[in-house]
Homo-oligomer: A and B are copies of this chain.
């Protein structure tokens, strides 16, 4: 069933959640007295690292695949992705027995390449530039007739990502804030829509690496800046906002906090050590934002979206 081509409404997100629920995990919300004590806030970690394919991206990808027409299903789906969206789309396609073509930069982490391969997709490698990505993808689409599923400039995807925040709000209804990480803005814009539709005034604050702060600058100056030479270990947050995510975020995001690389590593290690769960660097960015802004979050109930857990176990960043 084709997805409506407008900013997802409350009903669109409810329908999306119903449609994808049989395929996704309803991920747990974890808490830690010790991390509450360290941060001074009351934290609720929505653990999308336990989502299928290891990241929230499976929500949007599943919604995209389930929204294809019969003719489109035959030709399959294609995308470019530094990792998690590619793996998610590969798995979502496999569950419907349709082909998936994933354009990946050669520099993507091995764990993410292996996941895409394991889910049976065809990988097409490219140089790690936006231009190479796009050209390679265009060639793939021309060759195969597959439907391009953009990682975030796509309302179907955004509605899927919104369901993580919707679940969190359903489980912990009296939150003050939700903090998602901001890369291309798919998760952040979905979360902001869910907060608007499914809560009474929960504010959404994006968290972004200072070394990849294009979204912060874009919202400040009200124009989309490209992400030029981003420098961060948060490899899921290297991309810039798109027209669709920018449009939603500028209306619905309370603020964006940027964080240092040092804070990201500290936050990531604390989550591994105290919460006992494996998260990737991008997932540590919201907790890093809390640690860098203790006065702001003091005594508040804060939902943090742990976006994924696909990390190279040979190279935790504190061992570099």
Contacts and interface: CB of A to CB of B under 8 A. Distances in A.
Interface of A: 28, 30, 33, 47, 49-50, 52, 54, 111, 269, 272-273, 276-279, 309, 313-314, 316, 318-319
Contacts of A279: 276
Contacts of A269: 313
A50 B274 CA distance: 9
A277 B269 CA distance: 13
Contacts of A314: 318-319
The 6 A-B pairs at the shortest CB distance, nearest first, are namely A276-B309, A276-B278, A49-B276, A277-B277, A272-B278, A272-B313
Contacts of A272: 278, 313
Contacts of A313: 269, 272-273, 316, 318
Q: Which of A33, A50, A269, A318 has the most CB of B within 10 A?
A: A50
A276 B318 contact: no
Contacts of A47: 276
A88 B273 CA distance: 16
A314 B265 CA distance: 13
A276 B273 contact: no
Given A49-B276, A313-B316, A314-B319, 4 more contacts: A33-B52, A273-B278, A277-B278, A313-B318
A78 to B, nearest CB: 25
Contacts of A318: 313-314
Given A269-B313, A316-B313, A319-B314, A276 B28 contact: no
Nearest to A309: B276
A136 B168 CA distance: 50
A52 B272 CA distance: 15
Contacts of A49: 276
Contacts of A316: 313, 316
A279 to B, nearest CB: 8
A111 B30 CA distance: 22
A47 B316 CA distance: 23
A276 B54 contact: yes
A269 B313 CA distance: 8
A28 B50 CA distance: 13
Contacts of A33: 52
Nearest to A278: B276
Contacts of A309: 276
Contacts of A277: 276-278
26 contacts: A28-B28, A30-B50, A33-B52, A47-B276, A49-B276, A50-B276, A54-B276, A111-B273, A269-B313, A272-B278, A272-B313, A273-B278, A273-B313, A276-B277, A276-B278, A276-B279, A276-B309, A277-B277, A277-B278, A278-B278, A313-B316, A313-B318, A314-B318, A314-B319, A316-B316, A319-B319
A276 B277 CA distance: 6
Contacts of A50: 30, 276
